[in-house]
Amino acid sequence: MSKIKPSKGAPYARILGVGGYRPTRVVPNEVILETIDSSDEWIRSRSGISTRHWASPEETVSAMSVEAAGKAIADAGITPEQIGGVIVSTVSHFKQTPAVATEIADKIGAVKPAAFDISAGCAGFGYGLTLAKGMVVDGSAEYVLVIGVERLSDLTDLEDRATAFLFGDGAGAVVVGPSKVPAIGRTVWGSEGDKSETIKQTVPWTDYRDGEVEKFPAITQEGQAVFRWAVFEMAKVAQQALDAAGISADDLDVFIPHQANMRIIDSMVKTLKLPEHVTVARDVETTGNTSAASIPLAMERLLATGQAKSGDTALVIGFGAGLVYAATVVTLP
């Protein structure tokens, strides 16, 4: 018989607060057209994107995260000293070690929290949210800060007609804490590594370091393959998340998919047969694809503009490089 005592965490976990940060520089499609042969009409029709935000040198991964985290902590009504864990999802922090989460934790004033980075691409927020829920329920932390943050402008090839217009920068954060009722459903997550070549970094860092290539590594993708996978396969995953939460599409108030592409979002809405009363996040139009930051940024905007309200039931799903995915149903803070 085991001598280990049972954990004494919360019965359930919930999102208590949300915050976001978008860089001050707004970049319209006209800027993108300076380096690719395309048109504003083509970019809008293919992606739904009209503008995106690009970070200045001062708006680092850490700096943007600190801004978003501060807002989320204030929104949750707690103090930084109460944060017991900091999870940061990013693919664009270029210092391999230490984890940027440790720097962020120190800057926000958290006291010796668990702090680590994860790399799960555009599904990273869902992965972080799931880990945070486990920490709260397990009792290893009462409050956990989950941050999705990217400076994808650093990984954008402005001469790549397929991706130059897609990516933006920003940070989104949530605080996860104890709840007396279920407020974060079971996560449906996974990976399809046989499709890992469809979204990838062009070359390893070492190829650039060793002079084997002259062009700095960037993110590239096979657009049509990604579109088909996202629309058809991720709609199935989204339905599985609804089933796991014990609800139907009719019970939803809000749908917050990864802000990859407006066509993907609209196609998923159609495939899932979401009722007209469901509010759909379409933050991609003015923010672009911010990978791990896209879901919390979209959530924050919906709440700030009154398109969604506290207590609403929302389906969130992230998907991207790996190929990886994560979907769950949450109660909005």
Annotated catalytic residue within 29, 53, 93, 289: 289
Residue 266 makes CB contacts below 8 A (sequence gap 6+) with: none
Query: Is residue 122 among the annotated active site residues?
Result: yes
- Local structure of 157: helix, strand or coil: coil
Annotated catalytic residue within 29, 53, 93, 258: 258
* Cα 296 to Cα 234: distance, rounded to the nearest angstrom: 19
Among the listed residues 186, 189, 138, the one whose alpha carbon sits nearest the alpha carbon of residue 324 = 189
- 326-258-292 Cα angle (round to 5): 75
Annotated catalytic residue within 53, 122, 261, 277: 122
- Local structure of 72: helix, strand or coil: helix
- Provide the pairing of β-strand 169-179 with 143-151: antiparallel
**DSSP alpha helix (H) spans, the chain:** 29-32, 40-47, 61-76, 100-108, 124-138, 205-209, 223-228, 234-245, 262-272, 284-287, 294-304
The answer to whether 225 and 198 have CB atoms below 8 angstroms apart is: yes
Phi, psi for residue 231 in degrees, rounded to 5: -70, -50
Q: Between the CA of residue 109 and those of 65, 245, 292, what are the distances in Å?
A: 13, 35, 23
Phi, psi for residue 156 in degrees, rounded to 5: -105, 130
What's the token pair of residue 186?
């079971």
Phi, psi for residue 138 in degrees, rounded to 5: -70, -30
- 202-205-207 Cα angle (round to 5): 80
Query: Is residue 261 among the annotated active site residues?
Result: no
- 86-87-93 Cα angle (round to 5): 115
Q: Which residues are catalytic?
A: 122, 258, 289
